[in-house]
Amino acid sequence: MNIILLGYGKMGKVLERVAISRGHTISHKIDLNNLHELAGIDPATVDAAIEFSSPESAVSNLTYCFEHHIPVVCGTTGWLHRKQEMERLCMQKSGAFFYASNYSLGVNIFFHLNRVLSNLMNRYTDYEVSMEEIHHTEKKDAPSGTALSLAKDIIDSMDRKQGWVNEHATEPSLLSIISLREAGVPGTHTIRYESKEDTIEIKHTAHSREGFALGAVVAAEWIQGKQGVFNMQDMMKF
């Protein structure tokens, strides 16, 4: 495939390396410094775009892809208040849009475990659930997109939780998410159920960005020839 990278920071460079290792070509690398080059790209020469930019750039990048009929895989977080708008535009343009808050295959298995466990723990009201997420100091949004996905599944599954706060919760109906930022941490997410008697904990620790990049490139391969809005559950068939 010929792939456009929309966003060429640390993650973009890992995406480039992984895509090339799988036999693909990076035809263009676009960031804020050369955004004007988008206008000169022939969409017919592009098979997919992978979008890992910033919350400020994601919507315009996605709009460009839909309007030029370029399948797009997006992993940018912090802009999801406009996600439904982008999904509608994708469908209007008969495009292909793959979004995930986290492309790690391991994290998506973790998402599945979280859904199973939260459904089970809905019955056991003596356990208080909380979450902690740790990321590198360069990460701009908090909680992380992965934490928000985990939180949504917990809230959807548990009758006693109605929302979340990014601090220690004082209301029993709110899920506590603690966000920590530490140098060099790709991403760690911990979900904890505590009672007076014991603690149940599930945890995912990323060791590098390679796993995120591999999942995104595999998604770009998978989306070829498709139309619609997709996510990791569609690809992994949970």
Hey, which residues are catalytic here?
Answer: 135, 139
Measure the CA–CA gap between 18 and 16, rounded to whole angstroms: 6
Q: Which amino acid is at 146?
A: T
Measure the CA–CA gap between 191 and 193, rounded to whole angstroms: 7
Measure the CA–CA gap between 226 and 230, rounded to whole angstroms: 9
Hey, is 135 helix, strand or coil? strand
Q: In the β-sheet with 96-99, what is the strand arrangement from edge to edge?
A: 25-30, 2-6, 48-51, 72-74, 96-99, 228-230
Pairing of strands 174-181, 128-135: parallel
Pairing of strands 48-51, 163-165: unpaired
Q: Mention every residue, 6+ apart, whose C-beta is less than 8 A from residue 237.
A: none
C-alpha to C-alpha distances, 135 to 114, 179, 192, 197, 211, nearest whole angstrom: 19, 8, 18, 30, 15
74: β partners: 51, 99
**Residue 199, token pair as written in the block:** 């603690």
